[in-house]
Structure 1
Amino acid sequence: MSKKIFTNEEIEILSKNKYVKRVSAKGITYTDEFKRIFISEDGKGKFPRLIFEEYGFDINILGKRRIEMAAYRWRTAYDKEGVLGLQDTRKDNSGRPREKALSIEEKYERLKAQISFLKAENELLKKLDMLERGMMKKK
């Protein structure tokens, strides 16, 4: 988090941007849509500062460091988890364990979903392996 504290006027200006979820004196939460746009534009070779300016952010209010750190976080999250890494998960995950225990049926459904996911992942890996082998034979 940046050391810069937003004034009430700056908070009001930032809040009017459609790509801002929330703003407090110490931080700003961007929409998931803006993060996806940012990654897309960044992939085309645009500078982070230019992307923020094009989408209505005042660079003087945000500060260069805040922009650089947001860009770093989003690139890292995107490289690790793809588009899902850009989503704001704070509302979904408070860090506390579930209070209710899952029933046998719920556990069963969860395990079934996990198995089907792993099967699909295995199929994908098999296809990739076959493609790589085909490329090796051509060389």
Structure 2
Amino acid sequence: TDLWMMLVLDLIIISSVLLFNREFTAISFDEEFSQVIGVPVNLFYLLLLTLVALSVVILIKVVGIILVIALLTIPAVTARQFTFKIPRMMMLSSMIGIIFTLTGLWLSYILDVSSGATIVMILAIFFIVTYIVKRT
């Protein structure tokens, strides 16, 4: 049942992002200006927080808090090093999360170690390496 709940939530999140991408981007940058141009800021802010909260609650139950926090932050921070444009950042962050989650799962299977810890370590190493390379 957890997988079905995750699938339904994924569909809701993807649909919401596709339908309301401009509104989410607008309120993320400037709530006051968004309100001036007619965006119902409170509604979209509540929707965004609800989607994040539901994601966290469901994923904590399935994979644990450490992996959830790592997957919410590390891909986004890493993507931010490469682009400042929100659509590119969203795509790159998603790709980083998917690629390194699959890599971590594969490595944990090969090495017979915990998958969550392996995924977090792979993400952290990638972030540190890209951070050092971008700074030098």
Q: TM-score, normalised by structure 1?
A: 0.30
The answer to which structure, 1 or 2, has the higher relative contact order (CA under 8 A, 6+ apart) is 2
Higher helix residue share? 2
Higher strand residue share? 1
Q: TM-score, normalised by structure 2?
A: 0.30
- Structure (1 or 2) with the larger CA radius of gyration: 1
